[in-house]
Structure 1
Amino acid sequence: MVSYDLIVIGSGTAAQVAVGRVRAAGWSVVVIDHRPFGGTCALRGCDPKKMLVSGEEAIDAAARMAGRGVTGAVAIDWPQLIAFKRTFTDPVPGKQARRYAELGVEALQGAARFVDPETIEVDGRRLTTRHVLIATGARPVPLGVPGEELVATSDEFMELPGLPRRIVLIGGGYVAAEFSHLAARGGAEVTILQRAPRLLPRFDPDLVDWLTPRFVDLGIRIETGATVTRVEKHVDGLTVHVVRRGGPDLAVDADLVVHAAGRGPDLDALDLAAGEVAVNDGRLQLNAHLQSTTNPRVYAAGDAAGVGPPLTPVSSHDAKVVAANLLGERVHTPDYRGVPSVAFTVPPIASVGMSEADARRSGRRVRVSAALTPEWFTARRLAERVYGHKVLIDEDSDLILGAHLVGPHADEVINLFGLAIRHGLTAADLRSTMFAYPTGASDLGSML
């Protein structure tokens, strides 16, 4: 039986960061993944999604500038757009395998499971270890309805050889918003079925209201308060049956139904009970150092840990915390202050820090600077009518408590507010900063 200092289950962002750090300290490491090496962000998530968004950004820019010096029809060629995405994703597994080889890290393809608290089995091979890092990412949560097997995942959506004519998205968060914009600009008829009372519940409701006309312009049908009860297959496609809160039941026909109803830690295949790793309500029981409370050999990072926001920078941050704790540099805990979140609709919507409701509940004296500003130069030069902000400032300390943006460059400018929150910069600090002009960042002072 082979023994290692660290076994890493998963090969995404968290795994890559942790492996590099502990291997540099001379530890023996093995990485195990039952899917191609590279993880969700690089292969099935943020990176390929953003490459597909590049296509719709071009379409949207041409539409907005029509009659303003730009002429000619443009359209998304879906197979070509998928091929463009694959220029990035296809080389990733090979690159990761070569990197592990260069580092002297063994990389195994297969399904890992615990045999006992210090032993992992993969394809019949048993490995012992001083420590385990669970970095398996997340998977779609079960819908729990008849016909669930007929519903495609977001992974499958991003591999479609062609774009179906009628698409239904179950859920109303990031994935539904982003994919609906992309599919509608690609020419599909899109319906969003959202169980909650409103779309994009993790974002400021006022800004979501400002963004909603863009969904309407694209012909996207949005049904809120809509609970899916079953999905049926028939000769002409699929039918999604829906119970609506306060309205008549619906039957929505589709050629493709996509799961966009949330994800949870991907833990089921690990046989955690055999490893004496406790789970509560589908989540690992971890202490403040991302360490299992019942098996101190085991740590977790990223979406598998389920502690911080489910974002790639959080996975990287968690991995650095775990690596430092493993190496005994000192006891580390994660710090999730000022982590921005973006839905890559076109235009994007972004958020960092406290919501307005949370800020007011905190007992602070809160100053709110909020406006829909399509007349500002940043919006006018792009012929974009959706451009707005809401910034929350502590009246007593002048610290930024939260920022919420929608419109051009929101996905970039939100990082400046994240910087301010994380490092204690005040509104006065931001106002006194000279940004390049005219840029999206140069509007920041006027948002305060």
Structure 2
Amino acid sequence: MELRVDEAQALVDEAEEIARNTRTQDEQDLVGDADDHDQEFMSQSVYDKIPSSEAGSTPRKTKKVHRKKSMPILHEHFEPGTAIRELRAHKDTITAIDFDAPFGTMVTAALDDTVRVWDLNAGRCMGYLEGHTASVRALQVEDNILATGSMDATIRLWDLSKAHYDPHGGLGKDDDEDAIAFGTDNHLEPPPGSMADCPLYTLESHVDEITALHFRGDVMVSGSADKTIRHWDLEKGRCVQTLDVMWAAAASMTTTDSGWRPTGRSQSSSADFVGALQVFETALACGTADGMVRLWDLRSGQVHRSLVGHTGAVTCLQFDDVHLVTGSVDRSIRIWDLRTGSIYDAYAYDNPITDMMFDARRIVSAAGEDVVKVYDKVEGRQWECGAGITAAEDGKTPAIVERVRVRDGYLVEGRRDGVVGVWTS
């Protein structure tokens, strides 16, 4: 075992050295060229300014993280689809979930109106985040900074590095080493007030529930049922721009583009909320309830391109330097070529897509089943991962998967019964 850990640590050191000298896939995302964005909105020009992955995606200082250095590459020693652990995280449907790194910190929210922070090493709840007066529908965690968007129309920022949490939690050191083994959740309750010092500030501008949010560095965007997108400066803690989704939908009825299809295929009144968002500096991609995917330029506050294809509300999206992947209630996932605006590929499912995410190798999605749908981009094959695969053999009936996240081959999925599963992918 010691030899395996030594080998694993050597691989970690090698990967960190490569990361210091290699631009990551996510650091080559979409963006508009300031001088020629009418002709090529997806210009690479801004990407010359992006720091290396070692420098981080935010200007904030590195926070303390409770994880072991060998953990991020353990998945290399296990087959894809291996169960790591199962957490009985909530008493109701998981509405949002995210984690910062394999075996790092995970945050979950549910219809039981609670937000909980987890140590994925030990499978323990670190504490509860209190402040919202309704369920959280959207959240994101990065470098221990957490943003939560709620049905109470507010967004709250938290610093998870200020949590009063002992990773050993009364366990002996040897026992804590065993706690990272594959298994079920640890039932130790977090101490009261463990998250009392985590709140940073609250953003109040929306007048209806928050349906989506995304931040990178000090730039955040949020979408709401009030039919607007808000652009926030996190350094100053204020809204710097409001984008009217209804206006954009109405304007698209009369606007055409020679290189892209016109966007007036649906009635603008159906665009009653923003289902998904991603921002990179001045480039914003958003998917709305009218099935449209719009690419905004935050410098002008205007829609520059629209992707037409979905026939139902867009519920999730993510882009890299070449492709944008979207999921919809029309029971499909579509992969768009950002250079041409055309559909590169598409996959049909039996149920609406409620969530989706991709990393360098795979696209994972929640498609109304008790398993996660996985598409391996390298091998070009689809497979399933989750408790539903062995349910019949085990005599169990797992709940439907609602939310999924994947990073570096680690997958977490949140279900309708409040259970969270952690897997290798």
Q: TM-score, normalised by structure 2?
A: 0.25
Greater helix proportion: 1
* TM-score computed with the length of structure 1 as normaliser: 0.24
Larger Rg: 1
Q: Which has the higher strand share?
A: 2
